[in-house]
Each structure stands twice: as C-alpha cells, then as structure tokens.
Amino acid sequence: MRATFVLGRIAGIRIGVHWSVLFIFGLIAFGLSEGRLPETYPGRAWAVYWSAGLCTAVVFFASLLAHEVAHGVVARRNGVEVDDIVLWLLGGAARLKSEAAGPGAELRIAGVGPLVSLLLGGLFALAAWLLDLASAAGIVVEMVAWLAGINVLLAVFNVLPAAPLDGGRLLRAYLWWRTGDRLRATVGATAAGRVLGWVLVALGLVLFMRSGAFGGLWLALIGWFLITAATAEGRQAQLRGALAGVPVRDAMTPQPLTVPADATVADLLSDARYRYRHSAFPVTGDGTPLGLVTLDSARKVPRADAGSVTVRDVMVPLPQTTVAEPDSPLADLLPRMEPGAEHRVLVVEHGRLVGILSLSDVSRTVTWLMNAEGRRGRP
C-alpha cells in the first residue's frame, strides 16, 4: 500500500496517508455527528455535533498512528528497519524492510501494537470517568468514552490469531518457536487468516440479509480483506522459501542502460536505445544513481515542453525508490517490491549503480530454481 501523500516523520519513520482514509474518516465523523451524539444528547446545534465528530475522528486516527508507530519503534530496536507507515481504509500498516531475526523479536514487534491500543483505551476510559465526575459537558464525555471503546475494540480485534493481524504475527512467533521453521509458521498463520476471513464474510452476509444492516457488509468487507491479505502473505512466504540463500545479484539485470539526469524528455523518447524491451531506466549524474524514470511518466509531458523538461524533472527521486545491495538476501527484499515500472529496485554498491531488479526478474529466478530442483530430483 503506497501513500498518496506524506505527513512527515515520527521517530525517524516516514508517515504517509492513502486516499482511502478520507472515506473512513468521513464515515466516522458522519456516524458520530449525525447518529450517536444527537441521539445521546439531543437539542444541540449541528455545528456542535460536527465539531465533536471531526475532533473525535482526528484523535482516533492519532491513536491508530500511535499503534503503528509502536510497531515501527520496537522493530528498529530489534534490528528490523522500517520503510514507512501508511494509514489507509482498514487501519494502518508498518512496512518492514526485513523479517525479525527470531520468534522473540517477532513477538515483541507484533505484541506492542495491541498493547498500546489497550493502554490508550484504558487512559481514555479513565479520562471519561474523571470528566464525568467533574461534570464536564456530556458530549465531551461521550467523545472520550467512544475513543476508549474503539481503542479497546482495536486491541481485541488485532490479537485474533490470524494473519495479517497482529495476532497472526503472535501465532507465527509461537509456531516458529515450537517448530523452529519460519516458513511453516507463516503457512499456519496465513491459513488461520483465511479461515477467520471466511467466517467474517459469512457472518457479515447473514447479518445483512437478515437485518439489512450496513454493518454486515462492513464485516464482510473486512473478512474479504483478511482473505486477500492472508493469501498474498502465504504466497510471499512460499517465494521466500524458494529464494532462501539467493542474493540480489543472482536475479538482477547487471549494468543496466541508464539515462543522464540532464537529458531532455525529448532526447529520452527519441533515442532508439530506450524504445524497446524496458519501460523504466535508472537516472544517473556523474555515474551516481539519482533516481528512476519511466517511459510512461516521460510521455505525459506535453510535446511542446519535451525539449525543455529534463529527465530529472520527471524521475522518481532516489529516496523514493527501493535500493538494495547486490549481496543482500533476495528473499528479504520481496516485501518491499511492488508491481509497476516505477517500483523497480536499484541495486547499488559503494555508491555506484550495478544493476536493476523487477518482479519479472524474481519470477524468472524462481522458475529457474524450480526447474533446477526438478532436474536434480529426476532419477
């Protein structure tokens, strides 16, 4: 899940927001402003309800962010680097650059998120009680009480033992500790995720058909998300197992064709070297990698401007690309790779570009390994 826009950094971790957050933000604000608050405390002006609803939605997402930042901070303390944190439709996700070193680290990284949500729920509950004792405005007490309940619910839901929830990570840590096999542990956790997902889909559809409640469709949507995410995670685990011990240099395209940063878009599109085979090229300046340019982004430049707009102006800058070293484990790079020409991995050694890697390169490597394994297994 890529961020639509970046908010900044917290504890050195880049924080992004996907556009789908606007939907859930609006849903929460609307549900509170037009439903729960007027029903509980009628007779106030609509501006009061909407101000309270919007403030509550903002604090809820701050709580969700605290949950994800906790994952990121503990991950870094356990030797796992964090790409970024992205808030989106169904919550948030901290993208880790590699796997935990062992089941103990996995347990700590996964467990801290629900613990933070549970702690926040307790603090909000205490605050609601104190505000009620102080005879604070009823709407304010209701806002804080809702935040207490939603954070406790978030903690409980996340510890369900099914991937990709935090509880699935906890289950994987346990299975990893019991079996000593990370791949088998991942398979078990993802299987649990698919089972839970189908249960939620069935319950949601039954609830919707019996009562017509929108909550039933929402529950089914969450279940479908769990099924999809768990299936994708299971496939990735199988890929990681097949690629165990394979370095990036064995799959990358070495010495790729590059584009000078100061070349114009017209030069890029007219040069025969860039017309065939590839759709993205590393951008360099004085031999140093600066970013990645795709032919699609270059073609979006109006023809009248193509002679004055440079490749530097339309490239994806290096800090926004995925960079790896040639001797890095290819399996550890998989979680950071995504489809699309703009997501190619630049392979850099001692500050110099030595290769480029795409998902098709990974697929080709997996096919070669499977064929080689099949040949070894023949009598």
What residue type is 126 in one-letter code? L
Q: Is 68 designated active site? A: yes
Alpha-carbon 109 to chain mean position: 15
With H, G, I as helix, E, B as strand and everything else as coil, classify residue 172: helix
Instruction: Write the DSSP symbol of residue 15.
Output: E
Which residues, in sequence order, are CB contacts of 36 under 8 Å at separation 6+? 142, 146
Q: Which residue has the tokens 């090229």?
A: 281
Residue 76: both structure tokens together: 């870094």
The CA distance from 98 to 362, in Å, is 17
The CA distance from 154 to 300, in Å, is 43
What residue type is 313 in one-letter code? D
Choosing from 34, 39, 68, 106, which is the catalytic residue?
68
Does an H or E element contain 81, and which?
none
Kindly give the residue spans of alpha helices, DSSP state H, lying in the chain: 21-31, 37-40, 46-77, 103-133, 138-158, 166-179, 182-211, 214-242, 265-270, 295-299, 311-314, 330-333, 359-377
> Active-site residues: which are they?
68
